[in-house]
Structure 1
Amino acid sequence: MHTTDNQIGWDEVRVSAEELASGKLKPETIKLAVQLIQVNGYVLIEEVLPRTQVDQLNRRIGDYLEGFMAKHQFSLEEGFHNGTNHIGMYLPFEKPFCDESIIAHPFVTDIVEQILGDDCLLTYFASNTSMPKGTTSQHVHADMGARFGDRCNANLPITHLVVNYPLVDVTEENGPMEVWPGGTHLHPDRYYNTKTVDKSVLAEHMLSFKALMPAGSIMIRDDRMWHRGTPNRSDQPRPNIALIYTSAPNAPQQGGIQIPQETYDGLSDKAKSLLRKEKIGFPVIEPY
């Protein structure tokens, strides 16, 4: 959400110049961010990563997207994935994507660990891109299914947090994520069973808005919050990096992120802990 210099969005935590310079959030900033996630389902911290870094990431993703499109014989004009022209693509665990400022940004870990515990893990390493000429929105959905099918009528604690880094300015025109905050993550567990409620029908009668933000921002969200991708009516891709952090008891015994041993050995202790259950000693994956 864009704001003026004198106005702060209700979904946003404003970080001071001192916090940006030190790379450390104040306790009151962390507390506010955690509470916004718990109440609204997500929080936004604007313009954290430097533009030079974001531009480098965007260029590299652009190269991969070109190869992905060619391999799958996707055409922007003909459309794909039901006209959404949306691409989800795993990222290779290599520079510039595996930079510590991405996988273990202190703003992110300070907030995430307050919710998931300081033994949480990074379990998903990918990108989501809204490509140009899309004609339809995605179905409204949550990224988490019901953990207990139709059996649980209670809201359960947060176990997964999605972190998105937009690599271009997200505007009304280039396929912003539409979100349904303030309660869709607080339903009884059975609501996340796809057969229990038709989210796309119900969502049309609920409050939503487009999550607009500058490149290099950080969005942290409960993976149960309802959302959907919208059509990109610009002439350029709208990519973001998508990570998922998981509480330790709910993480798989063996993760799927392939990390060369030399790369893992060069990480900080914090990053090593986050990735301790992934596939260490494996070659990086090909993104397409």
Structure 2
Amino acid sequence: VHISVTTDELRAKKLSPIHLEETVKAINEDGYVIIENVVPHEPLDILKEKMDQDSEILIKSEKWGGAGHLHGHLQQGPPPFAPYVFSEIVANPFIIQVSKALFGEGIFNSFYNGNTNCPESLKQPLHMDGKHLWPHLEVSHPPVSVVINISPTDTNEENGSVELWPGTHLIGSTPSPMTTEIEETRRQIIPPIRGNAQKGSALIRDVRLWHRGVPNQS
């Protein structure tokens, strides 16, 4: 689900009740949502310039990270110091609003990091970023944690937008690593989609949602 933020919402720095309801519903049912145009481009441009420089150092050192530690995937966090920490990113009002709607007061950022998908990258194994608290329940529990992916540039199939498997956050008993048989069985029920997002968008996903990095062909 994509939520297009209106001019009035941008001015108020919060989603309308209808958009907030649609956002929470999408996260609960599909496991993800993409809210468009909620992060200003100026801080993203500053951050991207610095992170591109850091990426070159990591690539030359072959400091591959993420699921499988495969070629082309960097576990690369934004610099946690001035002048590269922006409230529009680390304390984005739209993301805070959605997080409070999901979890209530007392929310916090437990992991300030990121993933960089480099050209000629390999396909990651299918995985989750977090586990179920009670994996054997017949009905899975509501979200307890989400991942926020903010796009500093347009992401699409060509440059390796993330592969997402809708609804898989509700599947409790999931072995790790996931087998080809499990993957193909799920594909017949609901196939994966790509998390294509415009610059300044926020992809919010349940930590239990199946996903993986795929080759960046740019």
TM-score bracket relative to the smaller structure: 0.7 to 0.9
* Number of equivalenced pairs: 213
Q: CA RMSD of the aligned region, Å?
A: 2.3
Q: Which residue of 2 aligns with 1:209?
A: 193
Percent identity between the two aligned chains: 29
- Are residues 50 and 121 of structure 1, via their aligned partners in 2, closer, same or farther at CA, if it must alter by over 3 Å? closer
SS at match of 1:123: coil
2:89 and 2:155 map into 1 onto residues whose CA distance is: 19
Is residue 194 from structure 1 mapped to residue 176 from structure 2 by the alignment? yes
Letter in 1 for 2:99: V
- Report 1:159-174 matches (<5 A): 159-174=144-159
- Report 1:1-288 matches (<5 A): 11-72=1-62, 81-83=69-71, 85-134=72-121, 136-148=122-134, 152-181=137-166, 183-188=167-172, 190-191=173-174, 193-194=175-176, 199-205=182-188, 206-234=190-218
How many angstroms does 1:70 deviate by? 3.1
How many angstroms does 1:22 deviate by? 2.3
2:163 and 2:83 map into 1 onto residues whose CA distance is: 28
**1:190-241 C-alpha deviation (Å, 9 max, x unpaired):** 32x416866544444341111111111111111111111110011xxxxxxx
| Conservation of the 8 A alpha-carbon contact between 1:178 and 1:227 | yes
Letter in 2 for 1:178: E
- Are residues 96 and 113 of structure 1, via their aligned partners in 2, closer, same or farther at CA, if it must alter by over 3 Å? farther
1:30 and 1:184 map into 2 onto residues whose CA distance is: 22
- Are residues 73 and 166 of structure 1, via their aligned partners in 2, closer, same or farther at CA, if it must alter by over 3 Å? closer
- Are residues 20 and 73 of structure 1, via their aligned partners in 2, closer, same or farther at CA, if it must alter by over 3 Å? closer
| Conservation of the 8 A alpha-carbon contact between 1:51 and 1:215 | yes
| Conservation of the 8 A alpha-carbon contact between 1:145 and 1:194 | no
Unaligned runs of 5+ in 2: none
Give the TM-score taking structure 1 as reference length. Answer: 0.67
